[in-house]
Amino acid sequence: IAENKFPQAALLAEDINHTLATFDPKLYFPKLFETFVRLQVINFEALTAYADLQEDPQWQAMQEWLKVDLDSFIKQ
C-alpha cells in the first residue's frame, strides 16, 4: 500500500482474509487440542444428548455466561 501497489495489496489482503476465515488451529497446533478432541470422542454420547437444547433459551443464556465469565461458568 505504501508503494501504491493496490492490485497486489488487494490480492494479498484477500488471501490473508481467506486464510484467517478458514483457519483451523487444530492443524497447526495439534498437541494443544489433542486432549479436547480425544475427550469429545470418548464422551460423544453424553455430549450429543444436549444437541437438542442448543435453541433453548437456557442454553443461550449459558452461552452468554460462558462468553462473559469463563471462570465462574467452569466453577458452577
Same domain, residue pair 34 and 70: no
pLDDT for residue 1 is more than 80: no
CA-based max dimension of the chain: 56
Over residues 41-75, the pLDDT tens digits come to 999 999 999 999 999 999 999 999 999 999 999 99
Distance CA 27, CA 55 (A): 30
CB 49 within 8 A of CB 59: no
Same domain, residue pair 22 and 55: no
The model's pTM: 0.62
Same domain, residue pair 32 and 57: no
Listed in sequence order, the residues at least 6 apart from 47 whose beta carbon sits closer than 8 Å to its beta carbon are: 40
How many separate domains does the chain show?
2
**What is the Cα gyration radius of the chain?**
20
User: Could you tell me the residue range of the domain that residue 30 belongs to?
Assistant: 1-42
